[in-house]
Amino acid sequence: MANLTPPSTMEGFDAQLALLISQARGIELMDGLRLFLKSETHAMLLDDDLKMWHFSPLALFDMWENEQATGDPRNSLYLRGDEVA
């Protein structure tokens, strides 16, 4: 099993991403949290070997939105590494 990101780090990201999701979707905070906890983006953040906690909450939110739109958080510019013109 992969190393897990420390719970204290996850709590901060979980709270921030739940707030961003709830504001963007116009839903309750707990619903935003549930959506994030069920996502692949969250699973990637939980895997400490990936060091996803180096990204800002806004970058992680972009990954989550890309996952919702395309089915894969790796479609985010933050992970693809495409140059923005």
Closest to 61 (Cα-Cα) out of 43, 46, 42, 48: 42
Q: Contact 47/2 with Cβ under 8 angstroms?
A: yes
**pTM score:** 0.89
Q: What residues does 4 pair with on adjacent strands?
A: 47
Q: Tell whether the model's pLDDT for residue 83 goes beyond 90.
A: no
Share of residues in the chain with pLDDT > 90 (%): 80
pLDDT of 19-40, one tens digit each?
Answer: 999 999 999 999 999 999 999 9
Where along the chain do its domains lie?
A: 7-71
pLDDT of 50-70, one tens digit each?
Answer: 999 999 999 999 999 999 999
User: Which three-class secondary structure state does DSSP give residue 4?
Assistant: strand
DSSP string, 38-85: TSHHHHHHHBGGGTGGGS-HHHHHHHHHHHHHHS-GGGSHHHH-PPP-
